[in-house]
Structure 1
């Protein structure tokens, strides 16, 4: 068991003092390569500290390559002769304790997911089935336009729910709207004029401007973008929200 002297009067967090002690012991050779550290539970009990404090110290040591965690065996000292000293500055003030917040009755965050409506159990079951199968292709780059099966599902959805008749070759799936707008600019070339809803999704608006498109704002009504104003704008392209308009919700 380690005997670590802690100074509770210092501004330096306790986990940082534990990290520094063990690190220096490893560097000096007092804790040789391959030796086993006490478990976080035992060390926390021995030092009369919370286990979270020990976890933070061990986590920092692991991240810097001083120790490694071996499943069901514990933490062991690594070979450290070749480790570089980065001398990264760290915060020395104690972090404020986490306080429980009052539950929020209505969350209007645009990036949240309402787990009461999300089919979590179905999603988890399908994910488990996919990962249990020998799907080595999951780790490959995949098709440039996106997974064919997903594009086919989108094609059928557009036909049945929107009356839009497209083929899978006309559908492109990308990693976020910014990436897709960049691909669109490469495909269509420079000098294009794009009509955008007013108000618009700010990230999309900024991305379109940075890509060199001329932007023409088109006002909204209770049914979305005003088509008559769009026709009069003379724009080559129109950027519209496919379902509920953001941020108005119409």
Structure 2
């Protein structure tokens, strides 16, 4: 029987020149030879003792290398006969080596901007870190650590669901019990779950246009037909919604994304009636409903009628921090049996960190979230007013402002010959981040005939320091308003 041919120079030289353990080097060499097809199928390998003598090693690293190759299927062991090369089926000619460690600093995921008007970034210098640490440590000290480190309730920790139900009732007017609350790490796993829950109720899904892009993309990927519904002056076009044949719609009625519109009570009741008429469901995204700067927060749609067909989505991404990883949805009672059936058969586990859930439960129970909210509203109102004042001062009548009074952003609109992409790129070159509204539109981006000189931008104010707001807006106006008009017409 043929025996493998071993290059002793390659094998014996490597231990001296490498920091890897000897058995790893030997394993890697044999694996590469087999994967490259240099050793014939069923060829015999030297015995452990013989190869150790050939390489001047003890038998231990050779035995360890052979055992690893055996476990991975590169070689076979036959009792009292030895080790043999195992033929590889449907594998590449060579197995890539482990990549070298990165040299220098890794690339940053996001650019850093001197004047960052990010649409959803918050001012985390106000985060109650001391109180969060204290609550976190109490969980570790006062609770069973083994219990904390194991799987929890798939629906979310019972204590936190109780506190969320109480919080949602008092802060947003939600009508619910803890049994209706489902907790997740962010919107994505909750929406994925909704896609499965809502499948029996229809295949046509209506979304706001413009609106949050995650909804049409995620439900389209789950096999739903997407129907973009235009925005009217104060809400979605409900005649268009009824004509679409959709039985599910997603809306953000208390502060529409991205326009900031507030759906009036008459339109809310009309939407609830639509859901009853078609046995459909409304997904209410209340992503920043707690943040209203003048007057009381607008109550949510879900609480207007008892046991309505509304799925309410809320969370603590904006209220506290996205890194805490706790969002929630409140299911209507009609969906609870189907949810528990799905939870049981898919072996679902809660995606939100259990220790963070217990910490947030204490935070809510002790009133720390509401106290933090009051502080944040005061701070954000000042920034909100500062942005409006700066836009009026530096843009004058050349820009319009809309979507004010709530949330983390407003809309700046102006007539301009340059495209939104060109204006955004120019701002970024000057160290200013703003977002074009273009990506939130569905029909507009799909229509090659669409033309307009109206440029709209989402200007966030929560994450930028108050002292940088005026200078950032001044520089934005300077780079946009001084841009020459290449069409030959005078501008502005």
Query: What's the TM-score bracket when you normalise by the shorter of the two chains?
Result: 0.5 to 0.7
CA distance in 2, matches of 1:22, 1:246: 63
Structure number with greater CO (CA < 8 Å, separation at least 6) is: 2
Equivalent of residue 196 in structure 1, options 207, 217, 232? 207
Give unmatched runs, 5+ long, in structure 1.
Answer: 1-19, 30-78
Larger fraction in helix: 2
How high is the TM-score relative to the length of structure 2? 0.31
Q: Check whether the contact 1:197–1:219 (CA below 8 A) recurs between aligned residues.
A: yes
Say whether 1:176 aligns with 2:186: yes
Give the equivalent residue in structure 1 for 2:126: 117
1:28-107 correspondence to structure 2 within 5 Å: 82=64, 87-90=97-100, 95=104, 104-107=114-117
Say whether 1:134 aligns with 2:128: no
Between stretches 231-240 and 122-131, larger displacement belongs to 231-240
Q: Secondary structure at the match of 1:238?
A: strand
CA distance in 1, matches of 2:21, 2:154: 49
> CA 1:215–1:109 in 2, change beyond 3 Å: closer, same or farther?
same
How far has the Cα of 1:233 moved from its partner?
A: 4.1
CA distance in 2, matches of 1:23, 1:152: 62
Q: What is the count of residue pairs matched by the alignment?
A: 179
Q: CA RMSD in A?
A: 3.8
CA distance in 2, matches of 1:224, 1:237: 16
How far has the Cα of 1:242 moved from its partner?
A: 7.0
CA distance in 2, matches of 1:196, 1:98: 36
Give the equivalent residue in structure 2 for 1:24: 18
Give unmatched runs, 5+ long, in structure 2.
Answer: 1-13, 24-59, 70-95, 262-492
CA distance in 2, matches of 1:202, 1:211: 15
Give the equivalent residue in structure 2 for 1:163: 173
Q: Kindly name which structure, 1 or 2, has the bigger radius of gyration based on alpha carbons.
A: 2
> CA 1:185–1:97 in 2, change beyond 3 Å: closer, same or farther?
closer
> CA 1:198–1:126 in 2, change beyond 3 Å: closer, same or farther?
same
Cα deviation per residue 1:76-97 (whole Å; 9 max; x = unaligned)?
xxx97747697213378x5469
> CA 1:130–1:23 in 2, change beyond 3 Å: closer, same or farther?
farther
Cα deviation per residue 1:138-177 (whole Å; 9 max; x = unaligned)?
2232222212222222222332233331222222112332
Q: Secondary structure at the match of 1:116?
A: helix
Q: Secondary structure at the match of 1:146?
A: coil
Q: Check whether the contact 2:235–2:253 (CA below 8 A) recurs between aligned residues.
A: no
CA distance in 2, matches of 1:167, 1:22: 68
How far has the Cα of 1:180 moved from its partner?
A: 1.6
Give the equivalent residue in structure 2 for 1:70: none
How far has the Cα of 1:113 moved from its partner?
A: 4.4
Q: Secondary structure at the match of 1:207?
A: helix
Q: Secondary structure at the match of 2:206?
A: strand
Give the equivalent residue in structure 1 for 2:278: none
Q: Secondary structure at the match of 2:182?
A: coil
CA distance in 2, matches of 1:173, 1:120: 23
Q: Secondary structure at the match of 1:173?
A: strand
Give the equivalent residue in structure 1 for 2:162: 152
CA distance in 1, matches of 2:15, 2:114: 42
How far has the Cα of 1:208 moved from its partner?
A: 0.6
Q: Check whether the contact 1:178–1:204 (CA below 8 A) recurs between aligned residues.
A: no
